[in-house]
């Protein structure tokens, strides 16, 4: 077995994460699901598997959890429906797959992965994405499968904000899940999945399914998955800009990602976060908000799960 570093990082969305948004039991469960998602990806990596499989496995766990804005538990749009976006990218080949505006795919990241493997269209939208998933043998569900009581309540609150002209908190607005990984062969991969933001206009697509914006991976440089108001990441072409800062301007992963989160996006007053890994297996999970659902296992096997700055779990996982 090669001694190349393996590493994995994830996020489950950034924002204010108001403590009273969830019960203590729900907070504990959301952290458990972050750890479970990390474990799913880490199990792939430590047995010598591909980073592409690891990020998919990690994102599937987060999509299946009701606590994150992707898959089951995704945000409702202004028409009381779910429109789901996801992308996955293989840093080794720059192959990619993505879906946007999907309404029936239980795990959108699996459809993105199937498109990557098909190697024809990278991005399929709307009912065509749903049909593709069904034809590819993936599980399709009714749109209501994705709905949780919490998202119904959030939509009600967002519509009340809109009607009364009050501002919504970052915590009420969005969320996204994503993962990045470096495998034993030094290959990088990134995946992202989201329901967008609560009360979004139908048909709106953010940065998550766009290669180079919310999702990007290139071997030898970095893999990135972003969370925050997508339009800002789209204008910044955030994922590819981080890679360009590293590959063309000699910046480190820390420097390039801090600049994106705190300067490029943060100075516009926008909550932002991301998870990223470089070719040496160094992982970062920067965010400029009160909290971000996040976790990583680094090249030393140090495991970390956190939500707010002071609510963290640390441990060490076996690399072999």
For a copy of itself, which is the closer residue by CB, 212 or 306?
212
Count how many residues are written for the chain: 320
Closest separation in Å from C-beta 33 to a copy of itself: 30
- Contact with a copy of itself (CB under 8 A) among 10, 17, 34, 210: 210
DSSP, res 211: B
* Of 219, 215, 210, the residue nearest 190 (C-alpha): 215
Q: Within 154-193, which residues bind a copy of itself (CB under 8 A)? A: none
Q: b/e for 125-142, b at 16 or more Cβ within 10 A? A: beeebbebbeeeebeeee
Question: Binding a copy of itself by CB under 8 A: which of 34, 211, 226, 272?
Answer: 211
235 binds a copy of itself (CB under 8 A): yes
Closest CA to 101 of 175, 179, 178, 194: 194
Contact flag: residue 108 with a copy of itself (CB under 8 A): no
Considering only the stretches 141-149, 174-182, 210-218, 303-311, report the one whose residues sit in contact with a copy of itself under the rule CB under 8 A.
210-218
Piece in contact with a copy of itself (CB under 8 A), picked from 8-16, 42-50, 154-162, 231-239: 231-239
Asked if 201 touches a copy of itself (CB under 8 A), the answer is yes
Catalytic residues: 176
Residues 6+ away with beta carbon under 8 Å from 291: 14, 15, 16, 17, 307, 308, 309
Helical pair 24-46 and 51-64, crossing angle rounded to 10 deg? 160
Only segment of 88-96, 155-163, 296-304, 312-320 that touches a copy of itself (CB under 8 A) = 88-96
Q: Return the residue matching tokens 């700055």.
A: 309
φ/ψ of residue 227, rounded to 5:
-140, 140
Q: Is there binding between residue 263 and a copy of itself (CB under 8 A)?
A: no
Number of residues that bind a copy of itself (CB under 8 A): 41
The binding site for a copy of itself (CB under 8 A) comprises 94-96, 100-101, 120-129, 131-132, 200-206, 210-213, 216, 230-231, 234-237, 240-241, 244-245, 248-249
């Amino acid at each position: 077995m090669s001694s190349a570093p393996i590493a994995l990082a994830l996020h489950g969305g950034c924002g204010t994460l108001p403590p009273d948004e969830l019960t203590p039991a729900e907070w504990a469960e959301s952290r458990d699901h972050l750890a479970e998602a990390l474990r799913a990806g880490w199990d792939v990596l430590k047995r010598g598997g591909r980073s592409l499989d690891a990020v998919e496995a990690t994102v599937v766990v987060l999509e299946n959890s009701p606590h994150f804005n992707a898959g089951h538990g995704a945000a409702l749009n202004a028409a009381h429906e779910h429109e789901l976006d996801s992308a996955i990218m293989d840093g080794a080949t720059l192959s990619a797959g993505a879906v946007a505006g999907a309404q029936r795919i239980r795990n959108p990241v699996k459809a993105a992965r199937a498109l990557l493997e098909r190697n024809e269209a990278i991005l399929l939208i709307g009912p065509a994405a749903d049909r593709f998933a069904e034809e590819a043998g993936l599980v399709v569900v009714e749109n209501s499968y994705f709905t949780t009581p919490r998202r119904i309540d959030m939509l009600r609150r967002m519509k009340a904000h809109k009607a009364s002209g009050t501002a919504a908190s970052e915590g009420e607005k969005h969320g996204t899940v994503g993962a990045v990984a470096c495998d034993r062969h030094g290959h990088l991969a990134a995946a992202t999945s989201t329901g967008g933001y609560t009360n979004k206009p139908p048909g709106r697509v953010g940065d998550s399914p766009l290669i180079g914006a919310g999702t990007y991976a290139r071997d030898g440089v970095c893999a990135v998955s972003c969370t925050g108001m997508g339009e800002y990441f789209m204008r910044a072409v955030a994922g590819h800009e981080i890679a360009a800062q590293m590959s063309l301007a000699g910046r480190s992963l820390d420097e390039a990602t801090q600049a994106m989160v705190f300067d490029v996006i943060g100075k516009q007053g926008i909550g932002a976060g991301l998870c990223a890994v470089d070719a040496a297996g160094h992982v970062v999970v920067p965010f400029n908000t009160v909290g971000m659902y996040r976790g990583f296992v680094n090249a030393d096997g140090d495991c970390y799960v956190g939500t707010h700055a002071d609510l963290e779990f640390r441990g060490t996982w076996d690399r072999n």
